[in-house]
Amino acid sequence: MTNTSDTIPQITDSHCHLDFPDFEGQLPDVIARAAAAGVTRMVSICTKLANEPTVRAIAEAHAPIFYAAATHPMSVASEPMVTLDQLIALAKHPKFVGIGETGLDYHYTSESADIQQQSLRIHIAAARQTNLPLIIHSRAADDDMARILTEEFNNGAFSCVMHCFSSSAELARATLDLGFYLSMSGIATFPKSQDLRDIFAAAPVDRILVETDAPYLAPRPHRGKPNEPAYTAHTARVGADIFGLEYSDFAAQTQANFNRLFTKMALYKGPE
């Protein structure tokens, strides 16, 4: 008899926050539910460097979990400015697989725009030097985001994913033209998100990742409830519909995309 779990298409939750209080004491069950849904890997994102030891410990304790770290743009005004040396040192950890999330957020914190831009450029330099992908948060800052990413890319190439992409078609095109990736979150499943689904549909399918941003932005049919990595599968099914693919084919495509971008994670062989 075939084991059902062996036939479920595998996908990766490319962005979640498993150190948040919502998951305290629940990670073994969260990981088990994710595996049952075919979500066999997760990248847990640290948004303040002071919390990096906690996020690192979670990754070290659980085989399917990897991590990334940065100073979130909404926190840069209240946190010490990150240094390039700090980020390069963190990147030496075998399960540290990305630089982020960094970026610009003018919706809630436009008063710190200048310092956000300074922080973003430091993170870009770290992505360039470590050859790890940059993980970008962008909200209400499309013009500055496109300008800075283009300027910095022209100064030296780096790889990047636009996490939880829900910005304009213009920003999507600008970042895709640089060879970057767009990550699809639960927002793409919401009834009023047709414009966003159209943006994804116009993108190359080999540049699409899927994520939860858990515990936020749970997709349908769990909208309004705490999100968790298992629910990546709901977003991926909508993604398959957007691109007119069978779910198994879309899942395989997102896995290939993820492995191409997050090379260090794809090559990870486990503790020695």
Q: Are the beta carbons of 50 and 76 closer than 8 angstroms?
A: no
Closest CA to 181 of 153, 210, 212, 160: 160
Residue 272's pLDDT is 61
Question: What percent of the chain is predicted at pLDDT more than 90?
Answer: 96
For residue 31, CA distances in Å to 5, 57, 97, 215 come to: 14, 15, 19, 14
Residue 70's pLDDT is 98
Residue 170's pLDDT is 98
Residue 227's pLDDT is 98
How many whole angstroms separate alpha carbon 67 and alpha carbon 214?
14
Q: Say if residue 207's pLDDT is above 80.
A: yes
Beta bridge partners of 12: 41
Q: Say if residue 1's pLDDT is above 90.
A: no
Residue 3's pLDDT is 40
Average pLDDT, the chain: 96
The model's pLDDT over 78-119, given as tens digits with 9 standing for 90+, comes to: 999 999 999 999 999 999 999 999 999 999 999 999 999 999
Residue 4's pLDDT is 42
Q: Are the beta carbons of 134 and 102 closer than 8 angstroms?
A: yes
How many whole angstroms separate alpha carbon 189 and alpha carbon 159?
27
Long-range residue pairs from 231-236, CB within 8 A, at least 24 positions apart, any chain = 231/37, 231/186, 232/11, 232/12, 232/13, 232/34, 232/37, 232/39, 233/11, 233/37, 233/38, 233/39, 234/186, 234/189, 235/184, 235/185, 235/186, 235/188, 235/189, 235/210, 235/211, 236/11, 236/184, 236/210
Pull the structure tokens for residue 158. Answer: 């780096």
CATH code for the structural domain at 4-266: 3.20.20.140
The model's pLDDT over 20-71, given as tens digits with 9 standing for 90+, comes to: 999 999 999 999 999 999 999 999 999 999 999 999 999 999 999 999 999 9
Task: Read off the pLDDT band of 6 (50, 70, 90).
Answer: low
